[in-house]
Chains A and B, each alone.
Chain A
Amino acid sequence: MNRTGRTAALLLSPTFLVLTLVVGYPLVAALRESLFRSGDELDESGFIVSGERFVGLDNYAGALGGSAERFWNAFANTTLFTGTTVAAEVVIGTAMAVVMHRAMRGRGLVRASILVPWAIPTAVAGLLWRWIFQADGVANSLLGADLLWTADGWPAKFAVIIADTWKTAPFVGLLVLAGLQLISADVYEAARLDGANAWQQFWRVTLPLVKPALLVAVLFRLLDALRMFDLPFVLVGAQKGSVETLSMLAWDEANQVRYGPAAAYAVILFLYVAAVAFVFVKLLGADLLGDRRARRREVPS
């Protein structure tokens, strides 16, 4: 037993080494950086005093105290964007998957065209939507309105939510489609024989069976949306309170060469993402990470 344990450890060690290098090191480095501060003092001849000094939790205190208003605003934006876009993407993405799954003429074309937004780089999508949302753009002429979508105000929030949903609903659709294709046709046949109508089939058969795939998609999207940066940055712009997310806050600090506070924001964001992922897995997806497979293996034995 001990011997197999040692062999297992030996065989796994390359994996652990790689994980330590690519996950562990940046994390520890960011944590360390967030406890230091540098380059904010001038000496008599006007040069910035080089070197870092240890400031303990000052950077965190600054984030949650001195610039609390900006921080909580960014926190609220991040949460709002995550909540609304993921919800909209699940509904629209599932609908897309159902359409893509249908055996019909031109299915290949439909699938390809639904996936186009996902294939476009986010920064490019941001620019495209910026044109759509500019004062004399398509959005305003379609709506017959004079909204200033890219100014700092509530329309900007909508602009970001709409653009992000457009961009990533296909991703949810793709994962759900994969789930749909695993459902055997027999189940539907049985449901039809029992007299279930289309809606009942979807609600009672499709949805429960596609749930594992859907949960993976939602988890991915949650983690992704919490890090949102490029879309609001390109579409609306930096330092606009109505769309500023935690990532943008960290970027802004780093751009002013204040790596300590930037790292502090990044660590807070990391903790937030970790907490959301943990709660999500605990509440909804207990069998998300392979427990189910383990259970399945136990049943036959």
Chain B
Amino acid sequence: MRKAAIAALVTSALVTTACGSGADDPAEGGSDGRGPITFATLKDGTGTVPELVERWNSEHPDQKVSIVELPEDADGQRQKLVQQAQTKSGAYDVVTIDLPWNAEFAARRWITELPREQFDVDGLFQAPLRGSEYRGKLYSIPHFTGSAMLYYREDLLNKAGVQPPTTWEEMRAACEKVLALPEAKDASCYAGQFDKYEGLTVNFSEAVASAGGQVTDEQGNPRLDTPEAKAGLEFLVDGFRDGTMPTEAITYKEEEGRRAFQQGKLIFHRNWAYIYALMNATDGSSGVAGKFDVTVIPGKDGPGVSSLGGNNLAVSSFSAKQATARDFIAYLTALETQLEHARGSAYPMTRTEVYSDPGLREQYPYLTVLKEGTENARPRPSLVRYGDASTVIQENVYAALNGDKTVDAALSAMQQGLTEIAKES
């Protein structure tokens, strides 16, 4: 009850300053407040995060952190956070957001600006860090990151005597040889995630970036009227048309694609790091354990450019204990903590040094590839109306893949739709 009263007080203080009355001290007690806080995070199946929180709690008995789990799917997670923000609830002090929501949450004043010097930002990957800024100011700290990797059937490639590809052309050529093998007669060449959901935006942005283009520039203006963007979309559309990608890939999300690769239906597959351990499981669930390897995703004329995945940590504007919240984020993203975190769970961390740890490299053989991918990766468009932008992209790319729209028509429709969105935000 008292907590609620404090929250209400802080909130009203925030609101009055937000409205520009200006006389009040911003967020009295809120921005410097200390005490027990709540950490809204995603479910951690490995139990590593609770352990790390436990250690913080034993060191800070008067500023204990309690964990609240957010729904597992991104939509549910977003809905929960939006609800809390709409009611200006101080129930969550530290919130976990998807990287592309950073701009929107910042513009809505749902999360607070963070002082760079507190978080040792130099050791972080630069791409996710850039994605965490809004109008030049830092609003969240990358906690997990992730770039796509190209999974390939090492056994079949060796048998056909081909090298892992670095370009789309090489990948097609490699497929031609591999698919001629009797073991691969029912397989298809390549698939990513092409169902109509956020993953399609990711795969499309990746294709455009891998062809040397970009979906939006630094100012958020769309750049889809370029030959590079066209080459990117054509790679996907032609892939479906000429059978490089199986028809059912239009229904693939991460898990469907993983299953297909595991069942030997794909030679090459674009996916995140989390599937590595699952596919290497020797309990009989995977048909490709020990038979695959990873490399950097291919591009048009050289290695491809991945879209960034990942989660960020931010301080809720409605929190009454923002100083503790900031300290806790600094603790959770410190090198020491990240090293320990990485030992306990396979989530890709956000500090580059984690990737050079010899012990971890042995534990996760894909770290080198992942590091290279993440260093070259590009954050998704940073737009306040990101959700709408993603909808426009999904709508048009999906229509192009289905053959309902030509590549040119889809690109110009996207260019127009995104221009409107960029103008308004």
Flag whether B79 is at the interface (Cβ < 8 A). Answer: yes
A45 to B134, CA, bound (A): 10
Q: Find chain A residues with CB under 8 A from B196 CB.
A: 152, 237, 239-240
CA separation between A150 and B395, bound complex, in Å? 16
> Are the CB atoms of A42 and B248 closer together than 8 Å?
no
For the complex, is B64 an interface residue (Cβ under 8 Å from A)? no
Residues of B within 8 A of A148 (CB): 247-248, 250-251
Count of chain A to chain B residue pairs whose CB atoms are closer than 8 Å in the complex: 72
Complex Cα distance, B109 from A171, in Å, reads 47
A39 to chain B, nearest CB (A): 7
Indicate with 1 or 0, residue by residue over B360-399, a CB within 8 angstroms of chain A CB atoms: 0000000000000000000000001101100100110010
Instruction: Verify if A27 is at the interface (C-beta below 8 Å from B).
Output: no
Query: Are A46 and B107 neighbours in the complex by a CB distance under 8 Å?
Result: yes
Bound complex: CA A45 to CA B136 (Å) = 11
Partner of B75, one of A40, A150, A151, A255: A255
Also in contact, A239 and B109, with CB within 8 A (given A146-B247, A256-B387): no
Name the interface size band of chain B: 35 or more
B384 and A135 form a contact (CB under 8 A): no
A239 touches B247 (CB 8 A): no
A20 to B135, CA, bound (A): 47
Nearest A residue to B390 via CB reads A239
A46 to B133, CA, bound (A): 12
B106 neighbours in A (Cβ, 8 Å): 46
A237 touches B197 (CB 8 A): yes
Contact of A134 among B251, B263, B395 (CB under 8 A): B251
Give A144 to B394 CA distance when docked, in angstroms.
Answer: 30
B18 within 8 A of A: yes
User: For chain A residues 29-85, which have a beta carbon within 8 Å of chain B?
Assistant: 39-42, 45-48, 50-51
Residue among A42, A134, A255 making CB contact with B107, cutoff 8 Å = A42
The reply to whether the CB of B82 lies closer than 8 angstroms to some CB of chain A is: yes
Q: Which residues of the partner chain A approach B394 to less than 8 Å between Cβ atoms? A: 239
Contacts of B19 in A (CB 8 A): 50-51
Considering only residues 60-113 of chain B, those with a C-beta below 8 Å from chain A are 75, 78-79, 82, 86, 106-109
Q: Write out the residue numbers on chain A whose beta carbons fall within 8 Å of the beta carbon of B18.
A: 47, 50
Q: Bits for A167-207, please: 1 = Cβ < 8 Å to B, else 0.
A: 00000000000000000000000000000000000000000
Give the residues from 254 to 270 in chain B that come closer than 8 angstroms, CB to CB, to chain A: 256, 260, 263
Report how far A271 CA is from B258 CA in the complex, Å.
Answer: 45
Q: Does B59 contact A (CB under 8 A)?
A: no
Q: Is A91 an interface residue (CB 8 A)?
A: no
Judged by a CB distance under 8 angstroms, whether A224 is at the interface is no
B226 contacts the other chain (CB 8 A)? no
Min CB gap B2→A, angstroms = 27
- Chain A: interface residue total (CB-CB under 8 A): 26
Q: Which residues of A contact B385 (CB under 8 A)?
A: 256
- On chain B, the residues within 8 Å of A288 by CB distance are none
Q: Is B135 within 8 A of A135, CB to CB?
A: no
**A291 at interface (Cβ–Cβ under 8 A)?**
no
Whether A136 sits at the interface, judged by CB under 8 Å, is yes
Taken together as a complex, chains A and B put the C-alpha atoms of A150 and B195 apart, in Å, by 9
A77-B232 Cα distance, complex, nearest whole Å: 34
Asked whether, in the complex, the Cβ of A255 is within 8 Å of the Cβ of B79, the reply is yes
* Residue A238 is within 8 A (CB to CB) of chain B in the complex: yes
Contact B256 A134 (CB under 8 A): yes
Q: Is A257 an interface residue (CB 8 A)?
A: yes
Rounded to whole angstroms, the CA-CA distance of A86 and B305 in the bound complex is 50
Interface pair A238/B256, CB less than 8 Å apart: no
Q: How far is the CA of A45 from the CA of B388 in the complex (A)?
A: 21
Residues of A within 8 A of B248 (CB): 135-136, 146, 148
Residues in A with CB closer than 8 Å to B384 are 42, 46, 48
User: Would A39 and B108 count as touching, CB distance under 8 A?
Assistant: yes
B398-A152 in contact (CB<8A): yes
Q: What 5 A-B pairs are tightest by C-beta distance, nearest first?
A: A135-B248, A46-B135, A256-B387, A48-B107, A151-B250
Can you list 30 residue pairs at the A/B interface with Cβ under 8 Å?
A39-B108, A42-B384, A42-B425, A46-B106, A46-B107, A46-B135, A47-B18, A47-B107, A47-B108, A48-B107, A48-B384, A50-B15, A136-B263, A146-B247, A146-B248, A148-B248, A148-B250, A148-B251, A151-B250, A153-B402, A237-B197, A238-B75, A238-B197, A239-B196, A239-B394, A240-B196, A255-B82, A256-B388, A257-B82, A257-B108
With A48-B108, A239-B394, A257-B108 known, 14 other A-B pairs at CB within 8 A are: A47-B109, A48-B109, A48-B384, A134-B251, A134-B256, A135-B251, A135-B256, A136-B260, A151-B250, A152-B196, A239-B196, A239-B395, A257-B82, A257-B86
Binding site for B on A (CB under 8 A): 39-42, 45-48, 50-51, 134-136, 146, 148, 150-153, 237-240, 255-257
